[in-house]
């Protein structure tokens, strides 16, 4: 049976179409979910896409976290539903307290849009299991509020428990503490990443195919999950 991956659209989302396309290229069915509908329609996993969401002018993701769909997603994620938050989706995951820390204004106060080298630090999550720890991948980054910050205790805990999923290599585009580009929760089913893997799934439009692994990883995870 084909896996059904939900892609949420918020008012202001601009990469939901790209995320849905990446899901299809990976071999799954993309199910479009609306922020105002709390029903997840039986999906096997969820992607919170990049772009923007309403209320970002207050703090990125601060209002979107209260969307009806997020109440259902938070409960389901705590029960094991795989969730990937990309860029603004990462911000929403932090605002929803599914992931620790916060994403703040880039340290240099400029928007950054470039192809960014990352190092995969953890291949043990639902979204990174086709990679190898230490593998370097090239994925676009585009953000103005992408600087990951947390208190030292949280940063140390993320490091000690292997929950840093990816780091920036050859230059930190936003000043993220400890070069963190992606993190996961304790169970490994929720991952937040600031760069955009959905923009690196086709040779025609991306700098590489390196981002496709995030979407094939979830299919591998679901194939091995108990029915």
Active site residue 35: no
In sequence order, what are the residues at sequence separation of 6 or more whose Cβ sits closer than 8 angstroms to the Cβ of residue 225?
Answer: none
Please name which of 158, 145, 131, 153 lies closest in space to residue 60, comparing C-alpha atoms.
145
147-149 and 102-104 beta bridge pairing: antiparallel
Single out the catalytic residue among 95, 121, 145, 198: 198
Single out the catalytic residue among 35, 87, 95, 221: 87
Active site residue 87: yes
Please name which of 197, 215, 218, 195 lies closest in space to residue 206, comparing C-alpha atoms.
197
Beta partners for residue 119, in sequence order: 136, 167
- Give the burial class of 30: count Cβ atoms within 10 A of its Cβ; 0-12 exposed, 13-18 middle, 19 or more buried: buried
Residue 13 has φ and ψ, to the nearest 5°, of -60, 140
Single out the catalytic residue among 35, 196, 199, 221: 196
Active site residue 196: yes
> What is the strand order of the sheet 4-9 is part of?
29-34, 4-9, 45-48, 83-86, 190-193, 180-184, 164-168, 112-120, 136-143
Catalytic residue positions, numbered? 87, 196, 198
């Amino acid at each position: 049976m084909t896996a059904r991956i939900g892609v949420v659209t918020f008012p202001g989302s601009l990469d939901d179409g790209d995320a849905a396309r990446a899901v299809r290229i990976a071999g799954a069915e993309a199910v479009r979910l609306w922020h105002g509908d709390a029903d997840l329609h039986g999906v096997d996993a969820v992607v919170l896409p990049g772009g923007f969401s309403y209320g970002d002018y207050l703090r990125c993701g601060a209002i979107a976290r209260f969307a009806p769909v997020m109440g259902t997603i938070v409960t389901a994620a705590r029960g094991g539903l795989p969730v990937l938050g990309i860029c603004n989706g990462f911000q929403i995951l932090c605002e929803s307290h599914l992931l620790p820390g916060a994403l703040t204004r880039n340290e240099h106060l400029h928007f950054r849009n470039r192809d960014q080298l990352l190092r995969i630090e953890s291949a043990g999550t639902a979204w990174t299991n086709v990679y190898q720890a230490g593998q370097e991948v090239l994925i676009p980054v585009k953000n103005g509020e992408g600087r990951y910050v947390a208190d030292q205790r949280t940063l140390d805990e993320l490091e000690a428990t292997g929950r840093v999923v990816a780091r920036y290599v050859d230059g930190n585009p936003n000043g993220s503490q400890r070069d963190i580009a992606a993190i996961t929760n304790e169970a490994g089913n929720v991952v937040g990443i600031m760069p955009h893997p959905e923009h690196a799934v086709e040779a025609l439009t991306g700098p590489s195919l390196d981002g496709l692994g995030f979407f094939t990883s979830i299919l591998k995870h679901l194939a091995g999950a108990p029915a």
